């Protein structure tokens, strides 16, 4: 069995640069019998076959794993996971395991989606909470399908500059721009508990906007966030979603391209990194999360030089911190 209290047991307990690259250097397994209820489990979904613009997000999971910028701190003997704002070390409160990548098949997106759904379902069946690293945003379909398979129709908090409720993209039904539409039509997302935040640019067009309104979907544009403030916008979103199983979908392009240049469909006028990190932690603390994803990370460099992967790594850490705070507040170790 994995001992998460000593991530470097093979190295005599000493923090080190050596060893397999995993998310935040947490233990690795591909054996779902090693997963426990309450674990937070990282799953890579390295596919980019369904993009409409820039490809390359198949390298997203490995870039996020490589972005762990605190290794130097660790080797100096300090805690690498103490959170200054939250005053908690989430990795001592929550057991985090890296479950590797779903066995996707390049150029066969249908098979890749099946592989992702099967892998995420293994995590969910173990009673653990999956955090999926994308990958293009089409992976929301297998990610949510796996969670809804266990929990029924889920609420969704969706950070994105794009609505992703298009009926088709270039005549194609299954795309990184149609996922939310497909999931709502399939009854896997409860539209009355679905909130989008950060929309801007030229989407949704009136036809989609009317379809969304007809289903009671709450949409908070980036201009609204700018005018009323992030915390108030987020409070409205959390109030709308309420209690019940909720999936957190974070398209990294919700950030302004100056904060996340490495993404498939950059759109100017977005959030800053501190906006998204704060919002992510509060959302994970205040919602009944059953799963989360961080998608559309298109690496542009290696390691800490990759601004987008670096902020994506921190976004995942904020999710884990929020989960830790929620468990601390409820007095439940899991």
Residues that bind Mn ion (CB under 5 A): 160, 162, 251, 253
**CA atoms of 249 and 305, how far apart (whole Å):** 25
Q: In angstroms, give the least distance from the CB of 227 to Mn ion.
A: 21
DSSP 291-326: EEEEE-B---SSGGG-HHHHHHHHHHHHHHHHHHHH
Using CB atoms, what's the residue nearest to Mn ion?
162
Evaluate the omega torsion of the peptide bond into residue 135 and state whether it is cis, within 30 degrees of 0.
yes
Q: In angstroms, give the least distance from the CB of 91 to Mn ion.
A: 29
**CA atoms of 149 and 173, how far apart (whole Å):** 22
The 8-class DSSP code of residue 145 comes to: H
Q: In angstroms, give the least distance from the CB of 41 to Mn ion.
A: 25
Q: In angstroms, give the least distance from the CB of 150 to Mn ion.
A: 26
Q: In angstroms, give the least distance from the CB of 144 to Mn ion.
A: 16
CB 264 within 8 A of CB 57: yes
Minimum CB distance to Mn ion smaller for 48 or for 253: 253
Minimum CB distance to Mn ion smaller for 112 or for 265: 265
Minimum CB distance to Mn ion smaller for 149 or for 201: 201
Minimum CB distance to Mn ion smaller for 32 or for 224: 224
Which residues have a Cβ under 8 Å from the Cβ of 103 and sit 6 or more positions away?
A: 115, 119
Q: In angstroms, give the least distance from the CB of 155 to Mn ion.
A: 20
Which residues have a Cβ under 8 Å from the Cβ of 182 and sit 6 or more positions away?
A: 141, 173, 174
106: how many CB neighbours lie within 10 A of its CB? Answer: 12
Minimum CB distance to Mn ion smaller for 98 or for 253: 253
Minimum CB distance to Mn ion smaller for 41 or for 255: 255
């Amino acid at each position: 069995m994995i001992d998460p209290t000593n991530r470097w047991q093979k190295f005599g307990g000493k923090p080190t640069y050596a060893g397999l690259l995993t998310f935040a250097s947490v233990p690795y397994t591909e054996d779902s019998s090693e997963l426990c209820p309450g674990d937070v489990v990282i799953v890579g979904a390295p596919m980019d076959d369904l993009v409409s613009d820039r490809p390359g997000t198949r390298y997203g999971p490995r870039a996020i794993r490589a972005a762990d910028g605190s290794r130097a701190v660790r080797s100096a003997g300090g805690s690498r996971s103490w959170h200054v704002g939250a005053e908690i070390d989430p990795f001592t409160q929550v057991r985090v395991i890296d479950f590797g990548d779903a066995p996707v098949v390049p150029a066969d997106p249908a098979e890749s989606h099946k592989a992702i759904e099967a892998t995420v379902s293994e995590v969910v069946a173990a009673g653990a909470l999956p955090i999926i690293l994308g990958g293009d945003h089409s992976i929301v379909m297998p990610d949510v399908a796996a969670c809804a398979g266990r929990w029924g129709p889920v609420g969704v908090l969706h950070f994105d500059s794009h609505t992703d409720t298009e009926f088709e993209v270039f005549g194609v039904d299954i795309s990184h721009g149609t996922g939310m539409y497909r999931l709502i039509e399939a009854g896997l997302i409860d539209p009355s508990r679905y909130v989008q935040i950060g929309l801007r640019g030229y989407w949704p067009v009136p036809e989609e906007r009317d379809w969304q309104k007809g289903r009671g979907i709450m949409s908070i544009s980036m201009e609204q966030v700018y005018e009323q403030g992030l915390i108030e916008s987020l409070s409205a979103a959390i109030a709308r979603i309420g209690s019940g199983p909720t999936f957190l979908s974070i398209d990294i392009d919700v950030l302004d391209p100056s904060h996340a240049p490495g993404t498939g469909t950059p759109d100017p006028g977005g959030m800053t990194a501190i906006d998204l990190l704060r919002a992510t932690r509060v959302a994970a603390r205040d919602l009944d999360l059953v799963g989360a994803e961080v998608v559309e990370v298109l690496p542009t460099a290696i390691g800490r030089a990759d601004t987008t992967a670096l902020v994506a790594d921190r976004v995942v850490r904020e999710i884990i911190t929020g989960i830790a705070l929620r468990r601390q507040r409820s007095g439940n170790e899991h």
